[in-house]
Amino acid sequence: MPKCAFCGIEVPKGTGKMFVYANGNIIHFCKSKCEKNLMDLKRKPLTVKWTEYYRREHKKVNAETKPGPSEAEQKAVKGSKK
């Protein structure tokens, strides 16, 4: 399933909106709120507190949200790229 380009949650099949740029890039939106914030208001997801990207960047993960990869997983990924 595709992720919303603004808030980062997965868009269920048959819902949401897909935007295709003239150069062929495709972005998905889960609701019109996300579309307006990104396209019309030109907001960055890292500055809006309710987005998954803001929570991940500012380490605001709690029991309600999905935690990011653990430190051990991050080290394993970094080690495999070498």
Cα 5 to chain centroid, rounded: 5
3-state secondary structure of 54: helix
Give this prediction's pTM. 0.67
Q: Which two tokens stand for residue 48?
A: 């809006």
Could you give all domains of the chain from N- to C-terminal order, each with its CATH number? 17-80 (2.30.170)
What mean pLDDT is predicted for residues 8-20?
Answer: 94
Q: Are 5 and 43 in contact (CB under 8 A)?
A: no
What mean pLDDT is predicted for residues 38-44?
Answer: 95
Is 60 or 30 the better-scoring residue by pLDDT? 30
What local confidence, expressed as pLDDT, does residue 60 receive? 81
Distance set, CA 49 to CA 36, 46, 71, 79 (Å):
16, 8, 24, 32
